[in-house]
Amino acid sequence: MAKTSDRTSARTRARQALAEKQRKRRERDERIEAAATRYFAAADAIERAQREAGEAIKALVDEGEPRGEIAELLGIANRDIKAALDTLSNDDTGEGKKPSEDVSAESDDSAHDDTDEDRHVA
């Protein structure tokens, strides 16, 4: 009889451990889902703000204001004016910035790449 009791107790502990593991996984999944929701809501808000900024700047440009003066009045760099207008024109055409267009993330140091490659070879 003790053997049956031990098996029952072991099964009970295993079920409890599994239930605890599943509970923790559900909680983790809920946290990840909430974080993803917040992230995408913020990303959408940023996109809207960029579009609205571009529209405001475009309205000034359409009224004949020089970009340099707009930048000075707003206290931003000329490149920010261009970026805002580019963002607006990309939204109008349905185009997005392609990853290959971002040259700031690319490395021109090919010797460094060779060194990294040598380091990771087993």
- What's the rounded Cα separation, in Å, for the pair 70 and 22? 57
The domain locations on the chain are 2-96
* Closest residue by Cα to residue 55 from 93, 106, 92: 92
| DSSP letter (8 states) at residue 98 | -
- What's the rounded Cα separation, in Å, for the pair 66 and 60? 8
pLDDT tens figures, 53-105: 999 999 999 999 999 999 999 999 999 999 999 988 887 776 655 444 444 44
- What's the rounded Cα separation, in Å, for the pair 83 and 71? 12
The count of other CB atoms within 10 Å of the CB of residue 52 is: 12
